[in-house]
Chain A
């Protein structure tokens, strides 16, 4: 909102510099965001909160400035301005019928005859131009000038075009049409609050006038409307028609009930001054009084909430400067009954008064204090789990990314089967659903990087997933990892590569990602961790796995399905992993229990075997563990080999067992016995021991 400090000085003799005024107003809550121009064309760009329609004009700001500086405030009313003042015989009349008192509490009107419609005089024109207002003609400009001067919206009708000499404030009837000033023909809703003449709607009340009754060059007689419309009625009408005007902005925030005659008079005065003519009638219909009950103010409450014992005279002085009237209540503790000025519809309660006191006293003048540390600590165990996972992901080399919470229908169908949560007013079709999978966002981030030449990508996102569930929305957490083939290859530690026949083969790349998943899951207490190869459709079915912790699925991972990768034009093979934190967080964090270190040396034995491709390491592990060797500490593959001397459909595997006793050094013959057991278990699976 643009305010001219020069204009403010019409109402209050401000001596500080414009810059100082801007600063002081801001400190009192009337924020001057920017100051531009010089001298009499200096402008404040102000940001006035929705609760302060009274300050959305020059007089309102001047009123605040007068309170801030404790200066007298001059009335905007000229000699003959107020309606019903010194005026020629008033013979003309219209009938005002407020058929909807809820929607319209007061309707003041003045009738002007024989005026000339012409451009506004320089004084009015210059000021309106300064605050970026469009000039129309002396009648419309007078109304607009008054709006920016005292904040009350008014409207000028061509009186001769109002049928039946009648103004009716009512709700619209089904099927009624109104072409508004912007030239748009609008079908009215029965709830719309409108102004009508005897036959037809002529304005959307408090929002916009009608086209057919507007002031034109031909207009000779005018009706000035200055009414008080109900905030909710105006707001709803404006919203239904997608309109937001200077008038509706003020009415829907609450106009000054008492200002209707003043506004009407000011507009009339300005039209008469520029267009000649005569005031021929003043009407003021009050359908209902606005109930502004006095508010009780307890000084003790002021002290309790603000934390500073402001002297009572200071409190009273502030309120008086702001236009509040105070009557002491005859009780023991200092209490006052405070009458609220008509322009302050936002002040209804004691707390509202306390805010007025605090802001005029100056927020920065209250001393800073610290409250004691009290209240229960509310535990949030999942938070700790999330922090641990996050920090482990970082140490595994994954960068944290954040993607938007929205996805489109196609992605939702590809990456989840959950019933989707749709947004009524989405930003775009591609963002019309709340995400049911983190994978689309991850792929978008990876593709963004690949398209910019970044090849080694490791990313993770901690986010939420949404799905419909019995009419409600179910929200749950998830973590998604993304890595490119080159990043996984690069991260392969030399000693851990199994497949010696093929540098960085698929199996070792898969193991690199599997190891990351294992490192994450090992944070949690569990008795079993199982992997199967039944991933959802969007994974490569030959190289992906689902992970089950104690019988519940907690993760899945693998390369993206080649067809999806192709469709997305990903420039490199991309791996993803999803961790279902809801299921994972059902497990506690693993508690560490120290185990005594061994005092006796361990012994390692290697076994070189040839196996058919159909036998998995898991089977070997199972067969060896089934022997039940208490001293078997670990059983691990150390090398894989295919090709050359290895027959087709077979592979060679080097396995290493480590034996260790906590009681004694193992004897050579014992270890020999264990080894024979292992060899025969592996032979039982169809393995052939190699030399």
Chain B
């Protein structure tokens, strides 16, 4: 058993004497602390040193009181410092005792507690990525209605009435419109292209716009079809837009989206509202353009090494006829437009083989996109 320390009364206030007393006191607290093993003795130990009434630290105040006036500040400083030291030791000891064993390491391999965070829908995510690429090129995102008139969805895009090109669109029409003139009949837009016309009606050239959103067609749902899907449409109008600009812009965008190693290739195609029209292919970003994945043929590109990704072209002068009043004179300006299916790009990017997964809300699927 350690002899209990008692606070001495001081008469010698020389620095040497003070140093000695302080050292004695600290040695005492260390010694007593070492003897504390249980939480009961811990409490007694803590009270003995820190209790407001009669605790040792309170008794130390007597040193200050009895000190000669001229060295009071010096004694005060020492006493305060001493108190902090003692408190630190006592509290540290108090924390140590009561714990079963000295700090053992924890099992860091146990799984973390994960607060729920939501996953962005893969289509929204893909759409947003594409939008950002074009936003950096100065394109503004504009919107248009999903229930459209025949005029905006077809006529002003150079799809004349009774033109076979309309057959390819499998349009869903609204009911009870028999009395209306053809161009006013309402339908679900089959593409985002009507937004081009709506924007040009409001804003004169030059123009760089992007329209993204839902489109609908009368396609029964299966692994590669859905009556609802998503498109992104782009339009650039200026006094000097060329076919080379169309190619360069899209080539840049594809490199930004799929990596700088992808190549693009353009093949002639037909859309009523562009001329020349093209389909753009990118070198397959899954097999790297080889057409094979190891021993297996690459399915997404059907072994060709190329994936068709979007339709595009120079805006047909007939389209400008519908917005000529707004300053779109095909003799003075030119434009390119492009449109891509977001769902298909998302399918390719994430390796899906069933389009329906996008629209079931299955969390086992959606949570993979966290």
Are B146 and A359 in contact, CB atoms less than 8 angstroms apart?
no
Are A448 and B361 in contact, CB atoms less than 8 angstroms apart?
yes
Enumerate chain A residues within 8 angstroms of B142, measured Cβ to Cβ: 378, 380
Are A371 and B241 in contact, CB atoms less than 8 angstroms apart?
yes
* B20, CB-defined interface residue at 8 Å: no
CA distance A464 to B238 in the complex (A): 33
Enumerate chain B residues within 8 angstroms of A403, measured Cβ to Cβ: 359, 361
* A165, CB-defined interface residue at 8 Å: no
Enumerate chain B residues within 8 angstroms of A395, measured Cβ to Cβ: 117-118
Taking CB as reference atom, which chain B residue is nearest A373? B138
B9-45 contacts to A, CB under 8 A, are none
* A367, CB-defined interface residue at 8 Å: yes
Are A405 and B268 in contact, CB atoms less than 8 angstroms apart?
no
Question: Chain A's nearest CB lies how many Å from the CB of B87?
Answer: 22
Instruction: Knowing A383-B141, A399-B118, A452-B364 are in contact, say whether A366-B244 is a contact too (CB < 8 A).
Output: yes
Question: Chain B's nearest CB lies how many Å from the CB of A255?
Answer: 13
* A507, CB-defined interface residue at 8 Å: no
* B124, CB-defined interface residue at 8 Å: yes
Enumerate chain B residues within 8 angstroms of A253, measured Cβ to Cβ: 164
Taking CB as reference atom, which chain B residue is nearest A460? B118
Instruction: Knowing A306-B243, A363-B278, A421-B174 are in contact, say whether A475-B268 is a contact too (CB < 8 A).
Output: no
Instruction: Knowing A359-B268, A401-B366, A424-B175 are in contact, say whether A373-B227 is a contact too (CB < 8 A).
Output: no
Enumerate chain B residues within 8 angstroms of A307, measured Cβ to Cβ: 242-245
Are B172 and A363 in contact, CB atoms less than 8 angstroms apart?
no
* B105, CB-defined interface residue at 8 Å: no
Instruction: Knowing A394-B119, A400-B124, A427-B220 are in contact, say whether A422-B174 is a contact too (CB < 8 A).
Output: yes
* A252, CB-defined interface residue at 8 Å: yes
Enumerate chain B residues within 8 angstroms of A401, measured Cβ to Cβ: 121, 361, 366
Enumerate chain A residues within 8 angstroms of B266, measured Cβ to Cβ: 363-364
Contact among B119, B174, B367 with A424 in the assembled complex (CB-CB below 8 Å): B174
Enumerate chain B residues within 8 angstroms of A446, measured Cβ to Cβ: 361
Instruction: Knowing A306-B242, A375-B238, A399-B366 are in contact, say whether A29-B268 is a contact too (CB < 8 A).
Output: yes
CA distance A545 to B279 in the complex (A): 52
Enumerate chain A residues within 8 angstroms of B191, measured Cβ to Cβ: none
Enumerate chain B residues within 8 angstroms of A52, measured Cβ to Cβ: 270
Contact among A305, A373, A379 with B137 in the assembled complex (CB-CB below 8 Å): A373
* B233, CB-defined interface residue at 8 Å: no
Instruction: Knowing A406-B227, A424-B175 are in contact, say whether A50-B168 is a contact too (CB < 8 A).
Output: yes
Which of the 9-residue segments A257-265, A350-358, A657-665 touches chain B? A350-358
* A73, CB-defined interface residue at 8 Å: no
CA distance A421 to B209 in the complex (A): 30
Are B214 and A464 in contact, CB atoms less than 8 angstroms apart?
yes
Enumerate chain A residues within 8 angstroms of B323, measured Cβ to Cβ: none
CA distance A402 to B175 in the complex (A): 25
CA distance A422 to B187 in the complex (A): 10
Taking CB as reference atom, which chain A residue is nearest B199? A378
Are B205 and A375 in contact, CB atoms less than 8 angstroms apart?
yes
CA distance A394 to B118 in the complex (A): 4
Enumerate chain B residues within 8 angstroms of A304, measured Cβ to Cβ: 240, 242, 334
Enumerate chain B residues within 8 angstroms of A487, measured Cβ to Cβ: 116
* B109, CB-defined interface residue at 8 Å: no
Which of the 9-residue segments B46-54, B91-99, B247-255, B283-291 touches chain A? B247-255
Question: Chain A's nearest CB lies how many Å from the CB of B45?
Answer: 32
Are A475 and B118 in contact, CB atoms less than 8 angstroms apart?
no
Instruction: Knowing A371-B236, A454-B364 are in contact, say whether A355-B268 is a contact too (CB < 8 A).
Output: yes
Are A424 and B216 in contact, CB atoms less than 8 angstroms apart?
no
Encode A433-476 as 1/0 by CB contact (under 8 A) with B.
01000000000111011001010111110001010000001010
Encode B131-151 as 1/0 by CB contact (under 8 A) with A.
000000110111101110000
Question: Chain A's nearest CB lies how many Å from the CB of B239?
Answer: 9
CA distance A422 to B177 in the complex (A): 10
* B123, CB-defined interface residue at 8 Å: yes
Are A364 and B265 in contact, CB atoms less than 8 angstroms apart?
yes
Total A residues in contact with B, Cβ cutoff 8 Å: 88
Instruction: Knowing A374-B238, A399-B367 are in contact, say whether A445-B244 is a contact too (CB < 8 A).
Output: no
* B156, CB-defined interface residue at 8 Å: no
Are B174 and A399 in contact, CB atoms less than 8 angstroms apart?
no
* A321, CB-defined interface residue at 8 Å: no
B271-317 contacts to A, CB under 8 A, are 275-279, 314, 316-317
Are A402 and B358 in contact, CB atoms less than 8 angstroms apart?
yes
Are A367 and B244 in contact, CB atoms less than 8 angstroms apart?
yes
Taking CB as reference atom, which chain A residue is nearest B123? A402
Enumerate chain A residues within 8 angstroms of B186, measured Cβ to Cβ: 473
Are A368 and B251 in contact, CB atoms less than 8 angstroms apart?
yes
Enumerate chain A residues within 8 angstroms of B334, measured Cβ to Cβ: 304-305
Question: Chain B's nearest CB lies how many Å from the CB of A483?
Answer: 10
* A316, CB-defined interface residue at 8 Å: no
CA distance A487 to B116 in the complex (A): 9
Enumerate chain A residues within 8 angstroms of B268, measured Cβ to Cβ: 27-29, 355, 358-359, 363
* B325, CB-defined interface residue at 8 Å: no
Enumerate chain B residues within 8 angstroms of A380, measured Cβ to Cβ: 140-143
Enumerate chain A residues within 8 angstroms of B174, measured Cβ to Cβ: 421-424, 434, 473
Contact among B145, B172, B236 with A423 in the assembled complex (CB-CB below 8 Å): B172
CA distance A355 to B164 in the complex (A): 20
Are B117 and A375 in contact, CB atoms less than 8 angstroms apart?
no
* A285, CB-defined interface residue at 8 Å: no
Encode A335-363 as 1/0 by CB contact (under 8 A) with B.
00000000000000101101100110001
Are B147 and A475 in contact, CB atoms less than 8 angstroms apart?
yes
CA distance A619 to B199 in the complex (A): 51
* A296, CB-defined interface residue at 8 Å: no
Q: List 26 A-B contacts (CB under 8 A).
A: A29-B269, A52-B270, A307-B243, A308-B244, A352-B275, A366-B244, A371-B238, A371-B245, A372-B238, A374-B206, A390-B124, A393-B118, A397-B115, A402-B123, A402-B359, A404-B228, A405-B214, A406-B228, A424-B177, A445-B362, A448-B360, A452-B362, A459-B363, A460-B118, A466-B146, A475-B147
**A-B CB proximity, top 8 nearest:** A307-B242, A445-B361, A29-B268, A397-B116, A49-B270, A307-B244, A368-B248, A373-B138
Q: A: which residues have CB within 8 A of B?
A: 26-29, 31, 49-52, 231-232, 235-236, 252-253, 304-308, 349, 351-352, 354-355, 358-359, 363-364, 366-380, 383, 390, 393-406, 421-427, 431, 434, 444-446, 448-449, 452, 454, 456-460, 464, 466, 473, 475, 487, 490-491
